[in-house]
Amino acid sequence: MTSADKQYVVVVGVDGSPSSKAALRWAAWHARLAGGSVVALTAWNTSTVYSDRIAAGADYERLLTNALSELVGEIVGEVPVNVQQRVVRDHPARALLSAVADPDLLVVGNRGHGGFTEAMLGSVGQYCVHHATCPVVVVRE
């Protein structure tokens, strides 16, 4: 495959927060305009799971898969763009940076479900901005 054959790929982090929903909406819009596709990624690990109502392992991953599918259907809806959905057990920032070998763009919300809601940029977004090898768009809610 030559670089001319490579499809434009936008990776977007989705955790269900209002800013990640806005990021998904923006990523789908942008990918459609660029003639590309979206990789919508939800990542989790035990250090990011704070609710005692959530079961561990496969049950939690199934819950997240269903939630991501619902969000993609709700947010992207009828937008004519291909969205690949992935749920991975990994640190969110690391998962976003390794989701695709050579993404054209990474999109994150300005903050997720972390504890510092007054922060301008969450820890995952901050890490991605400083370590991504592609442009990063930070979308506010």
How many structural domains compose the chain?
A: 1
Kindly state whether residue 4 falls inside one of the protein's structural domains: no
Provide the β-strand partners of residue 108. Answer: 138
The answer on pLDDT for 115 being more than 60 is no
| pTM of the full structure | 0.84
The predicted model gives 89-117 an average pLDDT of 84
> What share of the chain in percent tops pLDDT 70?
81
Task: Report the pLDDT value the prediction gives residue 45, as an integer from 0 to 100.
Answer: 79
Kindly state whether residue 1 falls inside one of the protein's structural domains: no
Confidence of residue 46 (pLDDT cuts 50, 70, 90): low
Domain CATH for 130: 3.40.50.620
Kindly state whether residue 2 falls inside one of the protein's structural domains: no
From the CB of residue 86, how many other CB atoms can be counted at a distance below 10 Å? 16
The predicted model gives 21-44 an average pLDDT of 95
The alpha carbon of residue 104 and the mean position of all alpha carbons in its chain are separated, in whole angstroms, by: 14
Residue whose C-alpha is closest to residue 134's, from 44, 11, 50, 35: 11
Kindly state whether residue 72 falls inside one of the protein's structural domains: yes
Contact 36/8 with Cβ under 8 angstroms?
yes
Kindly state whether residue 45 falls inside one of the protein's structural domains: yes
Torsion of Cα atoms, 120 then 101 then 78 then 122, to 10°: -10
Contact 32/79 with Cβ under 8 angstroms?
yes
Containing 38, the helix (H) or strand (E) segment is strand 37-44
